[in-house]
């Protein structure tokens, strides 16, 4: 049984479809990376899983199960019991994600207190232990520090400490290093991976940086405009991307582009993907990538592709790319052909 199983998740804000038909599975101890541009719906997906989508957002799913428990049918109180203790989340902006009016110690001890740590002594000791675990020096004194008295990197460590305080089985990290200095990014990343390995947590790592996922993820989910367009084990994704979007993303990685240029002996510009992600008012009828896809044909314009299952995951394309990087044979449409 998978640790987290999400099927056909959709989130809508008024007229805007932020996420549609997303499937996500995370096994215990697995690191799944979700990658996509801004507006791809990757954050909204994780917030929906956590139950943090507020009105006017509407969440609907075929299934959303954590460890077999149905998250959708669960009463709010039961779900809150899971949050912070079994499923935890860390966010992108550490400087604003902590309450400026309370000490770091208060905020860490709070999550302990709410989920069962009754004795003050125990809470405090555990808090010190956690701060040391995430590499904050002089942990005892830092407990009485305020978030604004520490740097972004330190604050993110505090967030991580807070999130793993109760040994969650699943940790969702929403672009945890994006807002940090480059040198600190590597440190935080390493910290996360170490913790994941030690505790055997499932980790969902959301990012726009495909390069990071190459290093840490077991599987990668690529999202575009609110849909999953490809899922595959990391190595397969990087060596044989099936979806044109993944292919383009990989090409856009500076290292890869440089390597290719060196290999072919030609100089040129860094490839970029022309066009922009569709906004709420201009969603194409057929494939959502079609206006920007080099390989699009007539069918792509009119028919919305399904997520065709593959050995490692799936790909949402009528003619997924083959090993040679060119579109392969047409895939048959399912019984719901033409339905967006």
Sites of contact with other proteins (CB under 8 A): 50, 52, 80-85, 88-89, 91, 93, 96-102, 110-111, 114-115, 146, 148-149, 159, 162, 248, 273-274, 278, 281-286, 290-298, 300-301
Nearest approach, Cβ of 90 to other proteins (angstroms)? 8
What three-state secondary structure class fits 159? helix
Nearest approach, Cβ of 116 to other proteins (angstroms)? 11
- The sign of the dihedral angle between the CA atoms of 84, 86, 90, 94 is positive
Q: Nearest-5° angle of CA 48, CA 51, CA 53?
A: 65
Cα distance between residue 11 and residue 227, in whole Å: 11
Structure tokens, 114: 């709410």
Q: Nearer to other proteins by C-beta: 63 or 301?
A: 301
Q: Nearer to other proteins by C-beta: 99 or 239?
A: 99
Q: Edge-to-edge strands of the sheet including 314-315?
A: 87-90, 170-174, 202-207, 31-35, 219-224, 227-233, 314-315, 308-309
Cα distance between residue 62 and residue 100, in whole Å: 39
Nearest approach, Cβ of 157 to other proteins (angstroms)? 14
Do the bridges between strand 4-13 and strand 63-66 make them parallel or antiparallel, or are there none, so unpaired?
antiparallel
Cα distance between residue 334 and residue 312, in whole Å: 20
Q: Nearer to other proteins by C-beta: 113 or 261?
A: 113
Q: Nearer to other proteins by C-beta: 36 or 286?
A: 286
Q: Nearer to other proteins by C-beta: 89 or 231?
A: 89
Q: Nearer to other proteins by C-beta: 26 or 53?
A: 53
Enumerate residues 6+ apart whose C-beta is below 8 A from 137. none
Q: Nearer to other proteins by C-beta: 231 or 249?
A: 249
What three-state secondary structure class fits 234? helix
Nearest approach, Cβ of 140 to other proteins (angstroms)? 17
Nearest approach, Cβ of 222 to other proteins (angstroms)? 18
Cα distance between residue 127 and residue 183, in whole Å: 26
What three-state secondary structure class fits 228? strand
Nearest approach, Cβ of 218 to other proteins (angstroms)? 24
Nearest approach, Cβ of 312 to other proteins (angstroms)? 26
């Amino acid at each position: 049984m998978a640790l987290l199983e999400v099927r056909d998740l959709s989130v809508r804000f008024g007229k805007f479809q932020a996420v549609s038909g997303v499937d996500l599975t995370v096994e215990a101890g697995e690191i799944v990376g979700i990658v996509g541009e801004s507006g791809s719906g990757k954050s909204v997906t994780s917030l929906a899983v956590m139950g943090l989508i507020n009105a006017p957002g509407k969440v609907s799913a075929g299934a959303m199960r954590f460890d077999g428990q149905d998250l959708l049918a669960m009463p709010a109180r039961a779900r809150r019991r899971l949050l912070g203790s079994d499923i935890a989340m860390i966010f992108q902006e550490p400087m604003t994600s902590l309450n400026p009016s309370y000490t770091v110690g208060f905020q860490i001890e709070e999550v302990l207190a709410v989920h069962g740590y009754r004795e003050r002594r125990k809470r405090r000791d555990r808090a010190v232990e956690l701060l040391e675990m995430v590499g904050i020096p002089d942990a005892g004194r830092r407990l009485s520090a305020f978030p604004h008295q520490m740097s972004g990197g330190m604050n993110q460590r505090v967030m991580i400490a807070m999130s793993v305080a109760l040994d969650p089985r699943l940790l969702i990290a929403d672009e945890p290093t994006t807002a940090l200095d480059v040198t600190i990014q590597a440190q935080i990343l390493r910290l996360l991976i170490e913790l994941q390995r030690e505790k055997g947590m499932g980790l969902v790592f959301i990012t726009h940086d495909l390069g990071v996922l190459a290093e840490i993820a077991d599987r990668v989910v690529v999202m575009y405009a609110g849909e999953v367009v490809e899922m595959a084990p990391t190595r397969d994704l990087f060596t044989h991307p099936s979806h044109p979007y993944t292919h383009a993303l990989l090409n856009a990685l500076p290292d890869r582009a440089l390597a290719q240029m060196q290999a072919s002996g030609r100089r040129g510009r860094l490839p970029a993907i022309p066009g922009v992600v569709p906004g709420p008012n201009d969603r194409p009828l057929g494939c959502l990538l079609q206006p920007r896809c080099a390989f699009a044909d007539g069918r792509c314009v009119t028919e919305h592709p399904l997520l065709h299952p593959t050995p490692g995951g799936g790909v949402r394309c009528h003619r997924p790319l083959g090993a040679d990087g060119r579109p392969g044979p047409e895939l048959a449409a399912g019984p719901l052909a033409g339905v967006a």
